[in-house]
Amino acid sequence: MSPTQSGVESFFRHIETIWTLDPEARAIEFGGQTFTWGELRSAVTTIDEMLAEAGIGPAAAVGVLLRNRPGMLAALLALLLSDRCIVSLSPFQPEGDLQKELRELRPDAVIADAQDWKDGTVRAAREAGIVGLCLPDGRLGPLQRVGHLGRSESRRGRELAGTALEILTSGTTGKPKRIRIGRATMADAILDGTRSGGQSAAPSLKTTPSVMFAPLMHVSGMFGALLSIYEGRPIVLLEKFSVEQWVAAIKQHRVRFSSLPPTPMSMVLEADVPREDLASLIAVRAGTAPLPPETQRRFEATYGIPVLVQYGATEWMGGLAGWTLEDHRKHIATKLGSVGRARGDVRLRVVDADSGRELPVGEIGVLEVLPRQRLGADASWTRTSDLASLDADGFLYIHGRVDDTIIRGGFKVDTTAVAAVLMQHPGVKDAAVVGLSDERLGQIPVAAVELRQGVAAPTEEELRAHAHQHLSPYQIPVRFKLVAALPRTVSMKISRPDVLALFA
């Protein structure tokens, strides 16, 4: 059952309670600086007041260029606690693209660090009638007003009432899309996260911080930040993942749980981090991208730390399935490769893509989800773009995406499976296979291969011979591109559009 309106507001009031418990306690560590809960609260209040003075009230659309910096955490809280809508904007896009996006989206206001208020962006905001707030890079204040002076009413009226967030998807398979997430959905996702961690409902401040490096502009980063704040847990905030900085934070603060997606996990292994440096960790959580079983097996064997794989989706702002420590203890030997079991009241099923018929245990089809708690008792099943199967114990296995399959002359080619075969070659660190348009065959597979350092680089002929040993002829990539590093998004997932561009 969805939270009532009073329950949703109670959730956000809980956050306001957190920073009153001990205003002098540490809330954020960033770049050698420490900010207290009292300083965070003051910054939130200032942002709220400056927006109100400019006529930016409840339900207004406020764009935020979400770098992983303290001021952006304050901006998120200021907007959520005032019932304004966060419009996630990427600070990593070219300046001209950002200015175009501002003209197209026409938010009521934009909040950004000084680094992102280039002259052309300020001019674009003024011309579009957008109120701008400028935060000093890496600090909580003071704020400055830029752009348009003020507004008399929201451009979208009450259209965004009850909407907490318009957020970008990661853009791994195409241009990032905007998805709206309601205040009730956000509140329930965070509460579900506290329940899975066994946290008490009573507000309290924790001493052990979370180490956060996932991009705030994506749901994984925003979820992690809000969950930590709701729990009263300090945040060690990294602008991006760094093995050195992450390990230093784990050691210094004796962190017990941490996020460690597949690419950072591989980086930790390649850096040969000493086992004792991670001795405080009880488990790491891995999500955002598929985790190769061999990487998980190697990490667990090297460090003796369970890897709890999670599965989620932007639309529901949080996990839909995942491993628990208890499940890991009982089942990891036989179910390695699974992303875990459904969480809470979430229900999962696998259906035939064409008929919609529910498939038996073990058969691969399209995954559908029913997160009843987040969508209400009358919610209907929602189809994902993931190919999946469920076993008899309810463990979920992801077999790629529907759009990972291409048709080559009438034959289906699972590009994820082809990439997995290429990664078995000792000289290959990672691989991405995509489909190129072909006048005769419809699509043909091509492969970009990231070479492993310290190992003799394979030739295209060697990779093709390797593929011949494991694949049918129609599955073998027509072309290979050998690269030092595959193109990735800011969340460190392989960017399929950029991989395609390598073959242009």
| Mean pLDDT score, 200-222 | 88
Q: Give me the pLDDT at residue 189, please.
A: 82
| Mean pLDDT score, 352-360 | 91
Q: Binning pLDDT at 50, 70 and 90, where does residue 2 land? A: very low
Q: pLDDT, tens digit, for every residue of 83-109?
A: 999 999 989 888 998 999 999 889 999
Helix (H, G, I), strand (E, B) or coil at 18: helix
Q: Give me the pLDDT at residue 374, please.
A: 60
Q: Give me the pLDDT at residue 57, please.
A: 92
| Mean pLDDT score, 393-398 | 96
Higher per-residue pLDDT: 502 or 195:
502
Statement: residue 158 has pLDDT above 50: yes
Angle 143-148-149 from CA coordinates, rounded to 5°: 70
Q: Give me the pLDDT at residue 437, please.
A: 86
Beta bridge partners of 448: 432, 481
Q: Binning pLDDT at 50, 70 and 90, where does residue 170 land? A: low
Statement: residue 305 has pLDDT above 80: yes
Q: Mean pLDDT across the chain, nearest whole number? A: 89
Q: What are the structural domains of the chain?
A: 5-185 (3.40.50.980), 409-501 (3.30.300.30)
Q: Give me the pLDDT at residue 175, please.
A: 57
Residue 195, CA distances (Å) to 198, 280, 344, 392 in order = 5, 22, 9, 26
Q: Give me the pLDDT at residue 201, please.
A: 62
Q: Give me the pLDDT at residue 202, please.
A: 78
Beta bridge partners of 182: 163
Q: Give me the pLDDT at residue 405, please.
A: 84
Q: Binning pLDDT at 50, 70 and 90, where does residue 196 land? A: low
Beta bridge partners of 181: 165
Higher per-residue pLDDT: 200 or 71:
71
End-to-end, the C-alpha distance of the chain in Å comes to: 49
Higher per-residue pLDDT: 443 or 483:
483
| Mean pLDDT score, 462-471 | 94
Statement: residue 372 has pLDDT above 90: no
Q: Give me the pLDDT at residue 79, please.
A: 96
Q: Give me the pLDDT at residue 3, please.
A: 43
DSSP 162-222: TEEEEEE---SSSS--EEEEEHHHHHHHHHHHHHHTT--SS----SSPEEE-S-TTSHHHH
| Mean pLDDT score, 121-130 | 92
Q: Give me the pLDDT at residue 203, please.
A: 87
Q: pLDDT, tens digit, for every residue of 269-287?
A: 999 999 999 999 999 999 8
Statement: residue 1 has pLDDT above 50: no
Which range (383-387, 398-402, 428-432) has the least confidence?
398-402
Counting DSSP H helices and E strands in the chain, the numbers are: 15, 25
Q: pLDDT, tens digit, for every residue of 412-464?
A: 898 989 999 999 999 999 999 999 988 778 889 999 999 998 899 999 999 99
| Mean pLDDT score, 158-180 | 73
In the chain, the amino acid numbered 410 is G
Higher per-residue pLDDT: 375 or 27:
27
| Mean pLDDT score, 344-365 | 92
Statement: residue 138 has pLDDT above 60: yes
